[in-house]
Amino acid sequence: MSQEKEVLLKEAIATQPKHWIRLTTACNNRCLFCLDANTPRDREFDEESIKEELRWGREEKGALKVVLSGGEPTVHRHFVSLVRYAREIGYERVQIVSNGVRLGENKAFFAECLDAGLNEITFSLHGHTAALHDKLTRNPGSFKKLMKALIRALRDGRPVVNVDVVINRQNVEVLDKIVELAIAVGVTEFDLLHIIPQGEAYRHRAELFYNPRDHLKTLQKVFALSRHPRFYVWTNRFPIPFLEGMEDLIQDPHKILDEIRGRRFQIRKYLDRGEPLSCREKDRCKFCFIEPFCTTMDRVIHGQNKADYDVWWIGDVDVDLAQMELPFGCTYVGVDHTRLEQLDLPPHTGLYVQVEHAEPVGPGDNRDSRPTVLVAQKAQHLETWLAEPLPRSVLLEIQLNNDTATWMVEHRSLVENQLPQLHLHLPPAPGLKEAMELQDPRAFFAKLQLPIRASGLPACLMPGAIPASRLKMLPKALFDGETGRIDLFALAHHHIQYGYCGKSCRCDDCRLNRVCDGLQVNWVRVFGLAALQPLLEGEEVLAPSTPLRLATGRTAEPAAPSLPGFPEAPEPPEDPLALAYQEED
């Protein structure tokens, strides 16, 4: 199988609908890096509520795989019956992430679990010796029980068996030995987790946090195992800059949805009450996997509070445009429509429009008083709209793709003639397949050699262009239609598409490092971090500035208003685990 096909296969596996359900907060280990230290211990969710959640995953999400988690899921009193029920209602795969203690110490229980339909087990192995593993789990004997369960599962042959490792300062230099031990007993799939600043891990950060740059030799030795056809290696929460040369190991961006779901109560309070997440600290955020999402969220809220948006993007026209009130400073309405003249807008409302088939625009179109941005998505649009001088009130946003790039190079003089009214933008790639279709953007700009205003790429990938800010877009789809508030998971998908970017470690040397977010994650996965070249001199220093991130000291935002016509935010729901923790405290 080619590397390209293998990467697409891994993405397909990673993006299959699956449902995560926490069964309990109880655990028979006390890991030094436990993320659940701030939740009440020994809380078991009742069987009926878990079954209801299982049904929701099948009926609403269409998930065929469920991951039962904890705490330690196997300590739930009804664990076996819950596994059986999940299979009965149609889950094809039931997976657990387990420390292996109960599965190792009770052979009969192990057999019951598999007979009930448990068919994937991820064992958490954090050391190659009992001394190291038991030190990290703070449970003497846990290594021996885990290894017994691991070997038992492999010999049985029914479940898919894999191993995860939480990489930290205590085990990073022996990561290769941990993996070698697992391989020796028959494991071929690994999930390598980067430690994050939550729970016990943050309390013990002096013992656990490490700089991947200092251990690249060992890390890359293990990552290279993914090149062997027999093995699967996944990374989890691992910083993008340290995966240069192995970009296919970058975690699928949609994994962040699980992280956000786990923090949904805290995030809702921030969106609706302006109450910052309890973990929000500059020196903590810079180690955190979801810091980019929190930064995207802050920037969206800031734009609402400052009424700083330009385009209210509604897409398909399904509302009365003539009566519509534009929110949060927007002066343009953005639509995806068939024909320009079919739109009925107030006289001075700007129009940002995508059309399927372009028709000529000119002074006779009565567009002198209406600011208009036409979006060129294919060569036919460019042929039509650049054939004659554009009206003064019309700007052209050219979306960079293979079709428009080829036309621009072949008709360079037509592009040059209308540069003041042109803006070139690379839209984000929604997935790997789409990203793989684009030809090298740097080669395109090198051929074009025009000072065109451009966005969507770091300055180093746009030689000759002028980095410029695009109109600020606010999609209607970000908001809940019943409350007029930001929808949390719509915001998460918005972040994946527009805010999830990556840089190389070498970008630290670039003069634009502080004002550049990097390259959108799917472009990184295709073009590689090697494409990013630090700019040490040149006029690119004039690139538009980028707002602060949480990791560089951004202050929290107050809650933003609701959409016009909607009431203010309702009281956000309380996290039942947080309430229980307060009661215990």
Summarize pLDDT for 60-117 with one digit per residue, the tens.
999 999 999 999 999 999 999 999 999 999 999 999 999 999 999 999 999 999 999 9
Which DSSP state fits 569?
P
Token look-up 């889950």 returns: 91
What gap in Å lies between CA 530 and CA 548, rounded to an integer? 25
- More confident: 28 or 541: 28
Nearest to 160 by CA among 125, 186, 126, 192: 186
Strand pairing category for 93-98 and 120-124: parallel
What gap in Å lies between CA 179 and CA 167, rounded to an integer? 12
Which two structure tokens, joined as six digits, stand for 369? 């008083």
Token look-up 């069987």 returns: 47
What gap in Å lies between CA 82 and CA 189, rounded to an integer? 26
Residue 382 has pLDDT above 90, yes or no: yes
Token look-up 């030094």 returns: 32
Nearest to 73 by CA among 33, 111, 118: 118
Q: If pLDDT is split at 50, 70 and 90, which confidence band does 4 have?
A: low
Q: If pLDDT is split at 50, 70 and 90, which confidence band does 352 have?
A: very high
Percent of the chain with pLDDT over 70: 92
- More confident: 35 or 185: 185
pLDDT of residue 546: 67
What gap in Å lies between CA 207 and CA 29, rounded to an integer? 18
pLDDT of residue 470: 94
Mean pLDDT of 541-570: 84
Which pLDDT tens digit goes with each residue over 184-209?
999 999 999 999 999 999 999 999 99
Please state the pTM of the whole predicted model.
0.90
pLDDT of residue 544: 59
What gap in Å lies between CA 165 and CA 432, rounded to an integer? 26
Question: Which CATH number does 3-238 carry?
Answer: 3.20.20.70
Q: If pLDDT is split at 50, 70 and 90, which confidence band does 366 have?
A: very low
158-162, 218-222, 260-264, 300-304: least confidently modelled range: 260-264
Location of each CATH 3.20.20.70 domain in the chain: 3-238
Q: If pLDDT is split at 50, 70 and 90, which confidence band does 401 have?
A: very high
- More confident: 132 or 350: 132
Identity of the residue numbered 65: K
Which residues 6+ apart lie within 8 Å of 258 measured at CB?
Answer: 20
Which pLDDT tens digit goes with each residue over 251-301?
988 888 888 988 999 999 999 999 999 999 988 998 999 999 999 999 999
For the four alpha carbons of 95, 153, 251 and 92, in that order, the dihedral sign comes to negative
Give me the helix-helix angle, 402-410 and 441-448, nearest 10°. Answer: 20
Three-state SS for 210-266 is CCHHHHHHHHHHHHHHHHCCCCEEEEECCCHHHHCCCHHHCCCHHHHHHHHHHCHHH
Which DSSP state fits 289?
T
